[in-house]
Amino acid sequence: MHDLVALTALGGTTPRVDTVGPVTCSEVPDVALASVTARLGHEAATQDELARLIGTATPTAQRFAGDPVTAFWSGPDQWMIEAPIATHEDLAAHVKTAVGTVASVTEQTDAWARFDLRGDGVNAVLELLCQLDLRQFQSGHVARGAVHHIGCFILCRSADHVSLYGPRSSAGSLHHAVLAAMRSAH
């Protein structure tokens, strides 16, 4: 084992947690990510392999599925796979083994910083941050769009639990924007 110490996206050794009123924002560093894109002509095969990997049907556009290995749609014939880092530190290798030559796999664990918003009134925070039609943003939905001018994935885990994935280098700005919206809304 190497002896290097990992930092969270916000630069700490422990994840940051902030609560304002009913909403809590937590930095979630213990998640591994890998992107999967179907090779040309292997779109159906990729979906089959992914279904096996996540143990359920491969999600269609703007949906996610699977637990503890989750796939969320990120673009045409493209998915992001997320899994707990404790069990899947080298997730990209694991996924590549699963999909073989039908899809391209890219490690994305450190490309994204995840923040989870929990609590009643999450929507009141989100409507200050992004253009999502929250009426249609139900459990199992994922959207890719700008959150305060930062390109993000937004996952609705349940009515009071949302995950934001933003570019790791912008984690500080994203966190600042989320906290400002939380203080404004609650």
Binding site for another protein (CB under 8 A): 1-9, 11, 20, 29, 35, 37-41, 61-62, 74-76, 78, 90, 104, 106-112, 127-128, 130-135, 144-146, 148-151, 167-174, 176-177, 180-181, 183-184
**If you compute the radius of gyration of the chain from its CA atoms, what whole number of angstroms results?**
16
Q: Which is nearer to another protein, 161 or 186 (CB)?
A: 186
CB of 128 to another protein, least distance (A): 5
CB of 47 to another protein, least distance (A): 15
Following CA atoms 155, 158, 160, 161 in sequence, which dihedral angle do they give, to the nearest 10 degrees? Answer: -40
- Terminal alpha carbon distance of the chain: 45
CB of 49 to another protein, least distance (A): 15
Can you tell me which residue has the tokens 């096996």? Answer: 52
Q: Which is nearer to another protein, 21 or 57 (CB)?
A: 21
CA distances, 53 to each of 29, 72, 85, 140, 145 (Å): 22, 13, 16, 18, 27
CB of 37 to another protein, least distance (A): 4
- Based on the number of CB atoms within 10 Å of its own CB, is 144 exposed (0-12), middle (13-18) or buried (19 or more)? middle
Q: Which is nearer to another protein, 31 or 53 (CB)?
A: 31
Q: Which is nearer to another protein, 67 or 121 (CB)?
A: 121
